[in-house]
Amino acid sequence: FLFSDEAAPVVVPPVAEPAAIIPEDMDLLTALELTLRKARAHGGVVRGLHESAKLIEKRVAQLCTATSLIT
């Protein structure tokens, strides 16, 4: 073992920039719409009562919403 008075240099990785800037005036429905659009673009949205119920029973659903306001 080697002991020295100097501390070993610590390498700090650069902090990643945020993926997207969220406007401060965003309301709940706008945030939900943006989230659903991004999830649909990545294949993470299931539509319909039957498909939703299957995922809820498997306990893999992360968000379940029933609305007619989101297009």
DSSP for residue 25: T
Instruction: Kindly state the tokens that stand for 24.
Output: 């401060």
- CA pair distance 50, 52, nearest whole angstrom: 5
User: Over the stretch 45-67, which tens digit does the pLDDT of each residue have?
Assistant: 888 888 888 988 998 888 887 76
pTM, two decimals, is 0.48
| Tokens 């945030």 belong to residue | 31
User: Over the stretch 7-40, which tens digit does the pLDDT of each residue have?
Assistant: 556 666 666 666 666 667 888 888 888 888 888 8
> Which stretch of DSSP H or E encloses residue 49?
helix 49-58
